[in-house]
Every structure is written in C-alpha cells, then in structure tokens.
Structure 1
Amino acid sequence: MKAYWIAHVDVTDPTQYSEYTRRAPAAFAQYGGKLLARGGRSQAMEGRATPQRSVVIEFTSYEQALACYHSPEYQEACRYRESAARAEVIIVEGVEV
C-alpha cells in the first residue's frame, strides 16, 4: 500500500533553505519517492493558517517512506533546513482503492 509524506513548511531563510531543496530530491528518488505537490498555491480551509509551502510525496510503501526519512542522505539534507525553516512532516499510509 502506498504512503505519503505531507509537509507544511514556513521558510525563514530562503538562501539556506535552497540548499535543502537542492539535496532532498536525491533522497526521495533513491527511495522511490514521487513529488506530487511542492509549494504551489494552497488555502487553509480549516485549522491553522496556510503555511508558505505544502509538500506531498508519494512512496510505494509506508516502509519506504520511513526508510527515506531516516536515511543518511535525507538527514544530511535536513541539516540545511533546520535553521532555515519551520517544518511539520507527517507520514501517512494510503488506502486501497
């Protein structure tokens, strides 16, 4: 069953954050991740205010999504995001249709 990363990000240092966005896609690709949404238009309909960026990444399985998040490649990319953005990342298993 597929799984998805859902991330909400508010960027505080665009220059530093660009280093994260330059490195992270290689980790996603290594674990079969497919970007479905990355920072396009969005509007909060309920709940908290709309973040600057919303990201959705599809993986072939929950295990692959977790492996990608915990991988050395992705954790290296995260070092560049830590001081450049506030992020919420959730990994959720999909449903069979």
Structure 2
Amino acid sequence: MLTWDGAAERYSEVEEETMAKGYWITFYRSISDPTALAAYAKLAGPAVTANGGRFLARGGTVKTYEQGIAQRTIAIEFDSVEQAIAAHDSPAYQEALVALGNTCERDMRIVEGMD
C-alpha cells in the first residue's frame, strides 16, 4: 500500500531526475555565400535531429524590438544541455560546419532552459 509519505518520496525522486532542456540559439550576422549555407543546412538538419534536436524557429526575423537587428535566427530544443553539446560536437555536425566554412558570421550559443 502506498502512503502519502511514499508518494511524496517518489515524486521527489522524479523531480530530481528531471533535467532542464538545452537550446541552441544562433543569429546570422552576415551570409556571404548562400550556396555554402544551403550545403551546411542539408547536412546540419539531419545531424541535429539525429541527436535529438527539435527546430523551434528557423528563418528571418519577423519583428525586432529594443535595438534588435533583423537577422536570420535559429532556435533548437534538446532534452538537456549535455545533449545539445553532444549534438554540436558530433562528427555529423562537425562535417556540416566544414561545409559552411567561413561563409557566415554567426553568434551561436547553447543555453539552459528554465523549469
């Protein structure tokens, strides 16, 4: 029989196991070679999804505020920061970065979500 104390203890264990999600946030400041960007995207998309990434936003800015710069923005969600880092460091994603080369100036970061 499960007592209230037992249920609370199990809830606490589940809560401790829950990790904050990880996010890739990328802003493209400039793109000098759209063909290289397309080659990168063809490789990067499957590399990201194979590593558990889910695209939340991909494309140009709709509206900017507070000194915002209208630039291509990508947001990708992962189950954890560790998963996001592993996806970035994976051989498949590294291959995509080689295809991109120095054709884009990007600001890319991995951030922890809030629970």
Is the structural similarity TM-score above 0.5?
Answer: yes
1:78 corresponds in structure 2 to: 97
- More RCO (CA 8 Å, sep 6+): 1
Root mean square deviation, CA, Å: 1.4
Q: Which runs of 5+ in 2 are unaligned?
A: 1-19
1:14 corresponds in structure 2 to: 34
Equivalent residues in 2 for 1:1-97, closer than 5 Å: 1-9=20-28, 10-47=30-67, 49-51=69-71, 53-96=72-115
Kindly name which structure, 1 or 2, has the bigger radius of gyration based on alpha carbons. Answer: 2
More helix by share: 2
> TM-score, normalization: structure 2?
0.76
Q: Distance in 2 between matches of 1:89 and 1:77?
A: 15
Q: Deviations over 1:16-51 (max 9, x none)?
A: 110001000111111110000011433332345222
Count of aligned residue pairs for this structure pair: 95
Q: Write the letter of the residue equivalent to 1:35.
A: F
> TM-score, normalization: structure 1?
0.89
Q: Distance in 2 between matches of 1:29 and 1:16?
A: 20
Identity %: 39
